[in-house]
Amino acid sequence: MDLRGCIFDLDGVIVDTAKYHFMAWRRLAKELGFEFTVEDNEALKGVSRMTSLEILLRTGGVTVREKEKAVLAARKNGWYVEFISGMTPDEILPGSIRLLKSLRKAGILTAIGSASRNAGTILDRIELREMFDVIVDGNKIHKAKPDPEVFLRGAEEMNLPPSSCIVFEDAQAGIEAAIAGGMKSVGVGSPELLGHADLVIPDLKKITLKELRNL
Catalytic residues, which ones? 9, 11
**By CB under 6 A, residue 104 contacts ligand B16:** no
**By CB under 6 A, residue 96 contacts ligand B16:** no
**By CB under 6 A, residue 110 contacts ligand B16:** no
**Which string of x and - marks every residue 76-95 that binds ligand B16 (by CB under 6 A)?**
-x------------------
**Which string of x and - marks every residue 14-33 that binds ligand B16 (by CB under 6 A)?**
-------x------------
* Residues comprising the chain, all counted: 215
Show Cβ contacts of residue 163 under 8 Å, excluding neighbours closer than 6 positions: 1, 2, 182, 183
Q: At closest approach, how far in Å is the CB of 64 from Mg ion?
A: 26
**Which string of x and - marks every residue 33-72 that binds ligand B16 (by CB under 6 A)?**
-----------xxxxxx--x--------------------
Question: CA–CA distance from 160 to each of 43, 89, 123, 163 (Å)?
Answer: 31, 30, 23, 8
Q: At closest approach, how far in Å is the CB of 176 from Mg ion?
A: 13
The one of ligand B16, Mg ion, none whose footprint includes residue 52, by CB under 5 to 8 A per kind, is: ligand B16
DSSP codes of every residue in the chain: ----EEEE-SBTTTB-THHHHHHHHHHHHHHHT----HHHHGGGTTS-HHHHHHHHHHHHT----HHHHHHHHHHHHHHHHHHHTT--GGGBPTTHHHHHHHHHHTT-EEEEE---TTHHHHHHHTT-GGG-SEEE-TTT-SS-TTSTHHHHHHHHHTT--GGGEEEEESSHHHHHHHHHTT-EEEEES-HHHHTTSSEEESSSSS--HHHHHT-
**By CB under 6 A, residue 10 contacts ligand B16:** yes
The one of ligand B16, Mg ion, none whose footprint includes residue 118, by CB under 5 to 8 A per kind, is: ligand B16
Q: Enumerate residues 111-130 that contact ligand B16 by CB under 6 A.
A: 114-118
Binding window for ligand B16 (CB under 6 A); candidates: 8-16, 102-110, 177-185, 200-208: 8-16
Q: Enumerate residues 158-177 that contact Mg ion by CB under 5 A.
A: 170-171
Where along the sequence are the contacts to ligand B16 (CB under 6 A)?
9-12, 21, 44-49, 52, 77, 114-118, 138, 171
Where along the sequence are the contacts to Mg ion (CB under 5 A)?
9, 11-12, 46, 170-171
